Chains A and B, each alone.
Chain A
Amino acid sequence: MLELRLVQGSLLKKVMESIKDLVNDANFDCSATGFSLQAMDSSHVALVSLLLRSEGFEHYRCDRNLSMGMNLGNMAKMLKCAGNDDIVTVKADDGGDCVTFMFESPNQDKIADFEMKLMDIDSEHLGIPEAEYEAIVRMPSAEFARICKDLSTIGDTVVISVTKEGVKFSTRGDIGTANIVLRQNTSVDKPEEATIIEMETPVSLTFALRYMNSFTKATPLASQVTVSLSSELPVVVEYKIAEMGYLRFYLAPKIEE
């Protein structure tokens, strides 16, 4: 028996909107630790890793580890039917073939349940080792989204370079080139507007903007995004989910053959 009650149901709505276009089907894994997912996009270039820790739920019951295969587009459709202030409860029986999403309005005057069929998914799981990254950039998530969107009107790839001067986002396309440099800025009044650059070694990596733009659909989840880079390693773009966990995107770089 699985029963997870999330008072801030909008978090789950935002998570689904962030990943449904990147990944079609995925297994949600439930354990005593929490509700998690690891899935790659169909071309196996990008990976989504989600963790919602059990402590973040108002009620978390998971009698035994359970893996539930879901079509993310269909799950997103169902969660779209929840109000932004609704409490969302996810329920499933051990060995059952469906999952129920229950939506309660804050004053309990409307209660809805949506049942969705589960599916068997043969997913490939990657072992991602803990890595020391050469450069970690923390910046406003809306700024990161703006940069990725702007650069994708010029070119298809972005070169992210971190030096002691700052972080540079560059692209080139048929019509010309673009460079955007952000300097460390910790002097702002609000911490969510800060840009913080931790650099061990200068690093420069190239990524497909199509994926970066897809990751920025998670912008409503967090005011800040963390971009972790190491030469010849996938970049990690992380959105923290308030006191519950994270949504991380991994993207393989483009490298010289």
Chain B
Amino acid sequence: NAIRLAGDMSHMASFFVLLFKINKSKSVAGISLKTQELYVLVFCTRYVDIFWNHLSLYNSLMKVIFIALSVMIVYVMRRGVPQRSTYNPELDSFPHHWLVLPCVLLGVAINQDPTSPFEMAWAFSIYLEAVAIMPQLHMVQKHGEAENLTSHYIFLLGLYRVFYLVNWVYRYMTEDGYWQAIVWVSGAVQAVLYLDFFYNYVKSKQKD
């Protein structure tokens, strides 16, 4: 449906905005490497089914694109010259292990098929995605204010989440028996994390 497509497009746009920013400014200052590495982990654990689930060309292609773009971002941040010298590890200080560990435990404990390692990995990726933005938001707070393109990037990620939430309401109403508790609760948590950022983003845009 169109709402979900809008969500996927804003999600993909967020990758391109970030890649554009780090290529054009030659700097990754203010970007959390931890958040970007968590996203690589999120996509690699969620899309292992790329090898056996062929739902549509769109679905498979987008999975490849999301993995490739997230890996590319981490690669530029770690290896890019001069980008790698502009990274601020002292500001990227969120204790991310405390995000991963509970998500592993939750993924093993709460999933749709306790006999399937794939379902555990899949649930883990849903839980981790919900909180993966936290190191980035933490960094923005420490910095005081995010650069324009960085804030557009975070805004697009939040927008993607909002579109998905609306899409789930739409699917619940139009598809008989469509019900995804794990995804909905995690998605709602994820959206809540953006509220404060959204508020400040809109406020600063009004000032401009």
A and B bind: no
Residues of B participating in the A interface, judged by any CB pair closer than 8 Å: none
